[in-house]
Structure 1
Amino acid sequence: MIVEQNASLQPHNTFGIVAKARTLVRVKDEEDVQQVLEHAQLGGEPKFVLGGGSNIVLTGDVKAVVLKVEVPGKRILEDGPRATIVEFGAGENWHDAVTWTLDQGLGGLENLALIPGTVGASPVQNIGAYGVELQDRFESLDAIDLATGKLFTLDASQCAFGYRDSVFKHPPGREGDLGLAGRALILRVRMRLAKPWKPVLGYVDLQRKVHESGVDHPTPRQVYDWVCAIRSAKLPDPKVIGNAGSFFKNPTVTPEQCQDIIARDPGIVHYPMPDGSIKLAAGWLIDACGWKGKSVGQAGVYEKQALVLVNRGGATGGEVVTLARAIQTSVYERFGIRLEPEPVVV
């Protein structure tokens, strides 16, 4: 168990916000967690689980014991006629894990390339991009209960996946609901990659790539390359410009609400959903309110994609939160829609 005192969290959050952890423990396996829970001083302290820091906004130093998840591992667990099951340690970089599956000749995760963060955080957020969500490829995960120290396994139904949502984002309910926010540390995640592989090319950006390339039947690697090119053109690299990726969830409305908005703003970007609702592009709503390129202090809205908030250099968590709230107010006043942030404010 590696314990660090007054550890800088700036390298551990993709916004690059300056903050410290009073105590940081690097978790390489479940034994490290057990040692923390049994520790005379640390055991009774509040815990904060930290993966790649790509979905948090730090507004100050963290007093809770920070459990920095660095569990390694990549392996093919099962290779059957209908699917291949792959398993990753929760500390593995998500994009590197996607690339690794392609290197093994396995398709299925390519639409999720270049999403920042770790594998362990992917089910918490039910990450998704270009027509694929983690739940579409998820098999199961192993985690440890931070209250009892017991190991447990969850399948997809037990994770209660929703749009950028899961059981890990909800506190325990009063009637014994399986809410695991702040209580579970994910150790390993398994994916089911179906055979035969079928490309998911429904999004306009990918359809454009098919048209431009003249490739009607792309390979998983070609789809991966397209996704990487599309994301790189629109989204800033956190290593260059601090950010947490898409800051707001795309809101859903009824068809009637959508038609009302279209009557006033015909150009609004919207997508019909299987349940009959309409998903609106949050980035378009923000851009329509004139926020693209604007700043509050050193926190700004990215010039190429209004859905992304960035650190222009030395931004505080407070500035990011203030900017986000101002954007929410603008969108609500113009469209009557409340945008919901994706990152967790700490």
Structure 2
Amino acid sequence: MLAYPFSLALFNTFKLDVNCNSFISLDNINQLSEVSSAIKKAPQHLILGGGSNILFTKNYDGLVIKNNLKGITLINEDTQHIYLQAMAGEWWQDFVLHCVNNNYGGVENLSLIPGTVGATPIQNIGAYGVEVKNTIHSVTFFDIETEQLHTYTNAQCEFGYRESIFKHTLKNKIIITAVVFKLTKHPQLNTKYGVIAEQLIAMHITTPTIKDVSDAVIAIRQSKLPNPAITGNAGSFFKNPVVTHAVFDTLITTHPTLSHYADVKGVKLAAGWLIEQCGLKGYTHNGAAVHSKQALVLINANNATGTDVLALATHVQQTVYAKFGVQLEMEVNVL
């Protein structure tokens, strides 16, 4: 265990130079009991994956555990599916590439999303018409209090839009150690999302493979989204809001070009479109800014602090609400 002050600048994609009191790298399952003991002595604790969905607004007064559990293992297969276990500390993109290179279908639309495998069920990550819940078979986690390992089925994870039981009932009570994914040997490609179809056409591909879809998604993301290795950011800062059909009918009357999608709970609106229509693309506050190519992304443009980014996010929320009457919810975890 490393003692205070330990800088987290290299462990969050906003590149914010904040400190924590103490820091542990979880590299082996055998460390879990030791980690549990340290957590019980700490004023508070934080399990960190890739640090790609977190905004530090101040130093963290507690223990940070960096989940570095590694490994990808084939655990079962049948004629239709293959079951891969990925340890929580595996980089998500490395896992996606492993699947794509072996022609295992299901996660290709989620290419290049930053972060680790262990974070994917917590947030139920999604992009381009696909959510990770569609491929998760089970999640194994360590109960900090009882020091026991448990495995939850997909249904027990209570997945929703950027939601899961791990964000609520089990928050701060467990450490995810591994995720088992159910992937298909006979991929049914999801290319209905407009920009993917357009990108495939631009790539002169008429009969795409899962690698083609993955390459298309990567090309799209690289063209629109800032590379966190160069420009500090946490990807999509806000969730796409879901409104009732009644609210949507009112909005579409006054804003006929409103970008929207069908949703089981109503109508999902494109948060990036709402922000852009407010004239906020490229808007800056101190060192923080709304990205000039993708309004859904807030960036650390010039030595911003976490409070600068939060103030910018609040301004975006207030401006969108004033224009559309729609409340944007932050997708990023603010500490």
Scaled by the length of structure 1, the TM-score of the pair is 0.93
Residue 214 (structure 1) shift: 4.5
- What residue number does 1:140 align with? 138
Name the CA distance, whole Å, in 1 between partners of 2:129 and 2:107: 11
The structural deviation recorded for 1:264 is 1.2
Q: Does 2:302 align with 1:313? A: yes
Match of 1:325, as an amino acid? Answer: T
Tell me which stretches of 4 or more aligned residues in structure 1 moved more than 4 Å: none
Alpha-carbon offset, residue 202 of structure 1: 1.3
Alignment partner, residue 238 of structure 1? 228
- Work out which of the residue numbers 117, 120, 138 in structure 1 matches 2:118: 120
Q: Distance in 2 between matches of 1:329 and 1:313?
A: 23
Q: How many residues align?
A: 334
CA contact (8 A) 2:103 2:185 kept: no
Which of 81, 98, 101 is equivalent to 1:100? Answer: 98
* Alignment-derived partner of residue 89 in structure 2: 91
Shift of 1:277: 1.5
Q: Find the aligned partners of 1:208 and 1:155 in 2 and give their Cα distance.
A: 36
Q: % of aligned pairs identical?
A: 39
1:252 is the counterpart of 2:242? yes
Instruction: Answer yes or no: is the 8 Å Cα contact 1:30–1:144 preserved in 2.
Output: no
* Residue identity matched to 2:50: G
Counterpart position of 1:48: 46
Farther off after superposition, 187-196 or 203-212 = 203-212
Q: Does 1:286 align with 2:286?
A: no
- 1:157 has 2:175 as partner: no
Does the CA contact (< 8 Å) of 2:105 and 2:186 recur in 1?
no
C-alpha distance in 2 between matches for 1:84 and 1:9: 37
100-109 or 192-201, larger mean C-alpha shift? 100-109
**1:276 CA displacement:** 6.2
Query: Which 5+ residue runs of structure 1 have no aligned equivalent?
Result: 171-178
Cross-structure match for 1:189: 179
Residue 260 of structure 2: aligned partner: 270
Contact 2:199–2:220 (CA under 8 A) maintained in structure 1: no
Take 1:104 and 1:6, find their aligned partners in 2: how far apart are those partners? 43
Task: Tell whether the 8 Å contact from 2:274 to 2:320 is kept in structure 1 after alignment.
Answer: yes
Aligned to 1:175: none
- Report the CA distance shift for 1:86/1:4 in structure 2 as closer, same or farther (over 3 A): farther
1:324 counterpart = 2:321: no
Aligned to 1:261: 251
For 1:214 and 1:16, locate their aligned partners in 2 and report how far apart those are by CA, in whole Å: 38
1:11 equivalent to 2:1? Answer: no
Matching residue's letter, 2:2: V
Alpha-carbon distance in 2 for matches of 1:299, 1:4:
30
User: Matched residue of 1:182: which SS?
Assistant: coil
Farther-moved stretch of structure 1 (194-203 vs 301-310): 194-203
**Which residue pairs with 1:130 in the alignment?**
128
Q: Which moved more, 1:258-267 or 1:236-245?
A: 258-267
CA RMSD of aligned residues (A): 1.3
1:202 maps onto 2:192 in alignment: yes
Supply the distance in 1 between the matched residues of 2:67 and 2:22 (Cα, whole angstroms): 14
Letter of the 1:15 counterpart: F
SS at match of 2:13: coil
Query: Which range is displaced more, 204-213 or 54-63?
Result: 204-213
- TM-score normalised by the chain length of structure 2: 0.96
d(CA) in 1 for partners of 2:262 and 2:201?
Answer: 23
Shift of 1:107: 2.2
Cα 1:190–1:164, aligned 2, differ >3 Å: closer, same or farther? same
